[in-house]
Structure 1
């Protein structure tokens, strides 16, 4: 299903893979509830539902996961708390809003912490990723695999952005996080935290000049209709987790833990493949609609502008400096 249809499917009830529901479940089946912010057909949703189906099949119904889409069980901060206390059993969480709970994950929101999406995969699938998983485990979240959310780039209604000077004076919507505000201000822009649902009209009416996001979101939100310049700054590459509630995880036998872990890794591999395909489809859609897409060949000028952002972050979090250095020196 093309990504352009993702957000056009308003679903008022949960969408659960039908094949997950077994005709007869064992008396002791664990009925797992899973949180997902995305709609049916989205890469993450497809991967989560495949995870649920495979876990149910391989455990012969001992674990019976159901995926609740479109954030019907609450927004992400609520869902994080519900999963931590065991009210939800599993979820797909972005690490951006995880910072207030697990401070180590704020490192993943630092601009240009990763040099590319492949670099992010390499880091998160290795020893450094396990350090983030350990930090999450201390807060009752077991991260079994890491999903992709692409690279976020700047787009606006005025001009291509090739250097920090091109950002000067632009009013740019950002997510509600001090790091993202500081990032835009360091480039000379005016950062404007704003709810995602308000961005389209604000771009259209000139309340803001631009925003930043990945290809699929830029396209599926229809922002490309009112913002004709998309510049591949790729300043934020934020991973997501497939997380299990610690209580649910510890209730499993070692054999079932192994099954769940294996299927979580398979789900991550599927999600990443689907993400690449969907991103390419979205890029073609916005190109066909007349959007000017420009590569930013040399990102060093942007990266240099981030030095004060890093300095302030390290001053406030000196214990995380070695983690930052390990990531940056790993490519």
Structure 2
């Protein structure tokens, strides 16, 4: 009996030992798997998004750094960088560092320069409908012009440059343009006869001066001072700040306020350059141009007052046309309107009807 009991205990003990042995053998096999998992987790760091590289654009400006339109360029550049959170940056090159106006426009068209601020006059070669915005005496006053430019009509004019490989972004204040010369005071239409005036490189501007009885001479802006000084031309036509900052008052002291045209300034970009810009950032650039416009107008108006005072103190003779003389100037524009208005009659009517 005892032998039988001992045999049973031995068998149970052997089974228990086998069970423990099995347990010890299985446990180490599981441990490496846990260690491997822990190590794999520790060696997989969280990836950070790569920084976005800013697109840097060059903006060409013919005027000096302290000129109202150049100050508007700088404000535009500041707003673009701020509103795009640094994705788009604009470097402004003033004082014709990248070339004169017409040359720069051609460089923008082929994408060699990214942006420029320019008068629409030389741009009419690429977008003829812009002539409507610079027709003599088309605006009643500055408020009328701004109501046109900031309306759907103005937006359509911005779009009109797209077919020539440009992107229109916004408008700047051009001021009222007046005649000045080195020869004599101008009080009537007859006084213009025979005088040689520099005009912008625009067919309409040449036709306008010819219709007034004077001789138009297209020249780059940077050559006007020496051309008056040497007698190649007798004078030019421009606004108060340009007459002042270009020092033209030193060689042409007779300034006549006739207000023949207001030629809007436009910010244009190369459509090639804009391919680097997202649709969202392009919309931001247009918004920034609109905001910079208000800033530029404020600087422009202050500069007009300052410039007039400066040239008067320097000895310039200022003559303001009488209403009768101004009406005579306007009446002389009939052939200009006949030539340019025929194709754009409806558009001209829309502009004139804006309140």
Following TM superposition, by how much is the alpha carbon of 1:39 offset from its aligned partner in structure 2, in angstroms? 2.2
Q: Deviations over 1:244-291 (max 9, x none)?
A: 333444554454334322211111111111111111111001110121
CA offset at residue 87 of structure 1? Answer: 3.8
Q: Deviations over 1:226-253 (max 9, x none)?
A: 3222111111211111223334445544
Match of 1:162 among 171, 174, 187: 187
Contact 2:109/2:166, CA 8 A, preserved across alignment:
yes
Cα distance per residue 1:162-208 (max 9 Å; x no partner): 32122123232323333222222222223333444443344345443
Larger radius of gyration: 2
Q: Tell me, which stretches of 5 or more residues in structure 2 are unaligned?
A: 1-49
1:243 maps to 2:268 = yes
Matched, 1:151 2:151: no
SS in 2 for 1:169: coil
TM-score of the two chains, using structure 2 as the length reference: 0.77
CA RMSD of superposed structures (Å): 2.4
Contact residue 125 and residue 202 of structure 2 kept, 8 A? no
- In structure 2, the partner of 1:290 is 315
Instruction: Name the CA shift for 1:283/1:146 in 2 (closer, same or farther; >3 Å).
Output: same
* 8 Å Cα contact 1:73/1:79 also seen in 2: yes
Provide the residue aligned with 1:310 in structure 2: 337
Q: Give, in angstroms, the shift of residue 323 of structure 1.
A: 1.6
The 10-residue stretch of structure 1 (122-131 or 320-329) with the greater mean CA deviation from structure 2? 320-329
**Does structure 2 retain, via aligned residues, the 8 Å contact 1:116–1:237?**
no
Matches within 5 A, 1:100-119: 100-119=125-144
Distance 2:145 2:187 in 1: 24
CA contact (8 A) 2:225 2:251 kept: yes
Structure-2 change in CA distance of 1:38 and 1:222 (3 Å): closer
Aligned residues: 304
Q: Distance in 2 between matches of 1:196 and 1:220?
A: 12
Shift of 1:102: 1.0
| 1:296-315 Cα distance to aligned partner (Å, 9 max, x none) | 2322211110001111224x
Contact 1:230 1:293 in 2 (8 A): yes
Output the CA distance in 2 between the equivalents of 1:205 and 1:90.
34
1:278 pairs with 2:294: no
Shift of 1:84: 3.3
Q: 1:112 to 1:60 in 2, by over 3 A?
A: same
Q: Residue deviations 1:36-91, cap 9 Å, x none?
A: 22221222222222222222233222112222223333333343344334443332
More helix by percentage: 2
Structure 1: unaligned runs, 5 residues or longer: 1-24
Q: Secondary structure at the match of 1:290?
A: coil
